[in-house]
Amino acid sequence: MKKFLISTLLLAIWAGHAESLPDSIAMIVGDKKVSVAEFLFSAEKNGETNLTDKKNLESFVQLFGNFKLKVADAEAQGLDQTQAFKDELDKYKAELLSSYLSDKEAEEAVVAQEYTRMGELLDLSHILFFLPEQTVSKDTVAVYQRALEVYNRIQRGEDLESVGKELMKEDPKHVGYEHVRAFGPMKTVKAFEDKVYGMADGALSMPFRTKLGFHIVKLHRRIPNPGRREVAHILIPFKQDSVVRSDEETHQLAESLYQQIQQGADFGKLARQYSADKASAQKDGRLPVFGLGEMVQDFERVAFALQDTGEVSAPFRTPFGYHIVKLLQKLDVPALSDVQKRWHRQMAQGEWNFALYKGFDDRLKQEYHYTFYPEAYAELQALCDDYFPTDKAFWEKAEPLNKTLARIDTVDFKQNEFAAYIVRCPFSVKTYSGDFMQEVYDLFVREILTNMERKNLPKKHPEYELLLNEYRDGILLFNISNDKIWNKPMAEQKALEEAWIQELRAKYPVKVNWKALEKAVK
């Protein structure tokens, strides 16, 4: 009898003229309609899986109705109009949109694939023939020919290092040379990294272009990545303040400190007292963790030769003076989880982003039936032989071109539409005209596809708007509950909650569409 009376009372309180509501509406709270989809979504999120049971259904209707009453009260008080509320909701909306307008799994796979290169470091030398910041096809011919001549000299037996240093000395504005002892992933432009990691040991590359210019690379060897080291050191310099020491005097002072350490003297105390590296001396000689290629070669060779924690090297010479090094710990290559977020942020910028987002781009191209017209693109490409895409002359030549460049979801996009996009959004890090236009074109297509996907989100992913509305209502519930209940003494909160609910039921009529709900949960 008691159960019957409670159910009858609930139906009486929340019934109204619900019989006139369509099956898509679960209830009306105040003057706001709540969909059956939202009701069921909330029930599932709250773990209510058996709504076919009448008692469970009635219980959740009451719980959900009370929640909506509080939201209605928050709206009546204007809490949804505050700047803080709008900022928080906008932030969540951006994060939610990002989760739909991306392919996180594909992005993680790209980062993981890049991480496989961490297993080895490359010892290489290269000569770089610089290109101007904005280069069209005709500007590259002379630079490439010069690079090719140098390549042929090296192929005939000349030493790359000698040739590179000679050219850099003669023409430092146009030629550079560098020996990189330990090149690793994510250190420079993608085109360079992809090329050198694809080379065989001992190979010499033909001249190849990056945004920096034309490179000739000699890959000396691959080195298994030994991980990282943390060491402390004492530096005895050849010159300290006004004191200038000979090599022998410097070595003797370092040797005397080494003997003290061997006899049990405290390494950190001696570092604080004698080391000329003041930054590390204050930390008992401790240096930041480092890997190969991050310190001078002589220092690295000794540091990586130490095997046991606490082991101390004999004094050794570098251009800075004599060092004594103590091994503090040997560390492995950073784990994927250690570099994943940083690398993802790095890849999201510049030329790396096209590899990072390729999975998402390709999926949308397929879903929206992307068609590319290469003949129309070739006409624009031909303009790059003489004009950089951001030049006014390029736009003047491209504006009359009206052939279809791409078709996306039955919509044709013309050559001059893309040319106008270049004027509006000239975003590329490439310095060669053809590469620049290709990157901007890829961004042009991505923007069209992303806008189409954003427009279709509610249809393709009905839960998107439900999630957004859930978060919106959650902010309002938290803010008003905090004001009405949660900032009050714990002992008073239950009574305050009950009184507040009674007040809300009197202020905001609730009409429940029981027929629609019972039908929906069958």
Please report which residue ranges of 323-425 form alpha helices under DSSP H: 336-347, 352-356, 358-367, 374-383, 392-398, 415-424
* Integer Cα distance of 475 and 398 in angstroms: 50
- Per the listing, tokens 């714990």 go with 490
The candidate with the shortest Cα–Cα distance to 479, out of 51, 39, 78, is 78
**Regarding beta strands 316-318 and 321-331, do their DSSP bridges make them parallel or antiparallel, or are they unpaired?**
antiparallel
Distance CA 318, CA 233 (A): 13
List, in order of start, the domains of the chain with CATH numbers.
119-224 (3.10.50.40), 228-331 (3.10.50.40)
Tokens of 191: 């085109």
Length of the chain measured in residues: 522
Name the phi and psi angles at 370, rounded to 5: -65, 130
Q: What is the pLDDT of residue 49?
A: 67
pLDDT at position 239? 87
DSSP state of 332: P
Rounded-to-integer distance, Cα 298 and Cα 295, Å: 8
Q: What share of the chain is helix, strand, coil (3-state, %, to 5)?
A: 55, 20, 25
Q: Is residue 236 a contact partner of residue 276, using CB atoms and an 8 Å limit?
A: yes
Cβ–Cβ < 8 Å for 497, 2: no
Query: Helices then strands (H, E): number in the chain?
Result: 22, 15
**pLDDT per 10-residue tile (average), the chain, 522 residues:** 42 52 93 94 84 90 95 96 97 94 96 97 98 89 96 97 97 97 96 97 97 96 97 94 88 96 96 96 97 95 97 96 97 96 94 95 97 98 95 97 97 98 94 95 98 94 94 96 94 94 94 93 86
pTM score = 0.82
Q: Would you state the structure tokens that stand for residue 378, as one six-digit string?
A: 């070739």
